[in-house]
A and B are shown apart, each in its own frame.
Chain A
């Protein structure tokens, strides 16, 4: 039996239960960052909303720049081997394509850029990613299979 755990806006979920599937539904400009420790079967999924922390709370998972370090720390606390950790990223779409509003509002691109900057700073290599475009995505992280999948509307679920 598998358990599906929904990861809502600005939330971070870490699981050590191999039956768990962590899901972030309908990511638009938000980014879903998945981390998997294949050795100990530990998985985490972060659903970050905005690129930069503005409220000064260093533990906030709503923001990409503070969410990633918090996530790494929680993965470590859960017993992950940080030397071998698989990191995935999906989301960061620009939902307002073909609109005069889109130029003033590209949080998606900024979210993805903030994540890349943070990965670089922390010397983390991305296993795979699917960002940008203008469609929403649902991501699922399978703890037991140590994989992350992406689905867009009208499409089928596929491995990232």
Chain B
């Protein structure tokens, strides 16, 4: 059985919500070891969003943003994209590099690789959480970091989901370190075929 009803079922969302929480919490512990202090992920939430609504949710399609994109390979294939508005990405780098807020003014190769690592860790821990609860194994490809207009960055998601669905799963969470917090949006778009396998494993 394929098609949107399966893809968007309430049960599936609930399962993914639980997985996302596990995944993000462990991603936070991974990031903590990167920054050398306790970093937490607050208020992770999962919802379905229409692709065309995403640019406006992030301040408009022409706004400058940073996208960290990677794919999942293995039993569960899919696409992951972590998106920060440009200013938020600079704040995130300040946090990771443990420098005062406002120190980072531009994204050079060092800053980009720090952001790539955030994407890599977040995706890896998410995939580990999936594997822990279902036995479905996958691994992330090396991340690609893009700095461009939000609309252009999201075209990757649009094009990969275009023939399949107009909705994507969105994860939102705040990364917190000491008094600083940076909100991020994180998309995971598993292929529908794999979702079915996933559902059957979970017996939902």
Contact = CB atoms under 8 A, between A and B. Distances in A.
A105 B155 CA distance: 11
B144 A93 contact: no
Nearest to B60: A25
B58 to A, nearest CB: 11
B149 A25 contact: yes
Interface of B: 51-52, 55, 60-62, 64, 69-71, 141-142, 144, 146-156, 158-160, 162-163
A111 B64 CA distance: 23
A27 B155 contact: yes
B152 A95 contact: yes
Nearest to A11: B52
B144 A27 contact: no
Interface string A98-119: 1111100101100000000000
Given A9-B52, A49-B158, A135 B152 contact: yes
Given A9-B158, A138-B62, A101 B71 contact: yes
Given A28-B149, A29-B155, 16 more contacts: A8-B52, A25-B60, A25-B151, A26-B55, A27-B152, A29-B156, A50-B163, A54-B163, A105-B159, A108-B155, A135-B152, A136-B152, A136-B153, A138-B61, A138-B62, A153-B64
B71 to A, nearest CB: 6
